[in-house]
Amino acid sequence: MTGEPYYRDTVAEVDLDAIAHNVGEFRRRLPKKIRLMAAVKANAYGHGAIPVSRAALQAGATDLGVAFLDEALELRRGGVTAPILVLGDVPPNAVEVALEGDIALTVYRFDTAKAISEAAVRMGRKARVHVKVDTGMGRLGLWGETAVPFVEEVASFPGLEVEGLYTHFATADAADKTYTENQHRLLMNVVKELRKRGREIPLVHCSNSAAAIDCPDYAHSMIRLGISMYGYYPSDEVNREAVRLRSALTLKTRVVYLKRPPAGCGISYGKTFIADGSRWVATLPIGYADGFSRSLSNRGEALIRGTRVPIAGRICMDQTMLDVTEAMPVKVGDEVVLYGCQGNESIHVDEVADRLGTISYEVTCMIDRRVPRVYKRSGRTVGWVNALAATSEPAPGAGLDDG
């Protein structure tokens, strides 16, 4: 490793040991024959798709799930060879690219299934598809009663293998599982009817993180592990004793300027924070363009020298100010943690999400690619990704090799 991999004081550190631990927590609850899909869409929920995929596969994941074909192709270009399923829509004109990459596709429309079949025949390949059934999410998929004839017809298309059948739960993270139970029943009705007709689907899957925690009997052929792989519980209502999760992400930066503004001086746009002459203000090189939400202006907190300090004024596009008076003596270069632990203090992503009126998923996904990702194992840096410079470097033997 030569030269500097990135030139920012702001980084998102990802603990690959935490990713592995979280996968292991679910893997130990599953029979060996049941597969585990790691959901790495949205750049692995902001953590970095390729390094996280490799860490998850090494820890016991068998499959990868993405939202769009481009995400699957990024993994293939990165040397990841594990089975990948595109959970979202794929345009018919992109089917050949998917088949070249040996990427499984979701189908719920005849035109897409036909395009996949025609491409498979032209290319002399077998295309793997998973049929999406809408049991109550109201998003993508066939309504239950139409799924059986759809599967029957699509299974007859040349070049197609109906490898999977799945649905997505809408309220599995709620304490009341009535709606989830009904969704599961509707999916199993489709499975049973297909069996009556002599058709066995190899992979039946419906469990997201919440269902994998609270409804272990719904695992069937495979679970799809999303938010909990990154160390977050889907809600406060799931059984947190069932699995012990470790947060993988730390968002940190450094103080680049320190001053004590005179009384009456406004801090940042709009003059929403007024200095009284006694307060010390530190400037950080991170802003809302990095995914650090402007809605945290005058509301959020950060950690410096193990002390919680408030955000002072409005968060700018590229910079944020803190009132660090209570943490003095502070100096330029001091580390600041925005999400994560420092000393005996911590700011959990769930806490940030609560302040923003949102969920942990959005908080981590918001972190922009211009923030370098730095990967850790056993406390040491084993690699990084700097999307702006289009550079990445795994340390030799660091466990970032192909999964």
Active site residues per annotation = 41, 269
In angstroms, rounded to a whole number, what is the distance separating the alpha carbons of residues 366 and 137?
A: 24
In angstroms, rounded to a whole number, what is the distance separating the alpha carbons of residues 311 and 320?
A: 7
**Cβ neighbours, 10 Å, residue 361:** 18
123 is in an annotated binding site: no
| Both tokens assigned to 361 | 């998923």
| C-beta of residue 4 within 8 angstroms of C-beta of residue 385 | no
| C-beta of residue 80 within 8 angstroms of C-beta of residue 402 | yes
139 is in an annotated binding site: yes
Per-residue buried b or exposed e for 267-303, using 16+ beta carbons within 10 Å of the residue's own CB? bbeeeebebeeebbbbbbbbbbebbbbeebbbebbbb
In angstroms, rounded to a whole number, what is the distance separating the alpha carbons of residues 293 and 316?
A: 9
In angstroms, rounded to a whole number, what is the distance separating the alpha carbons of residues 388 and 115?
A: 36
Q: Please give the annotated binding residues for substrate, written as ranges.
A: 139, 317
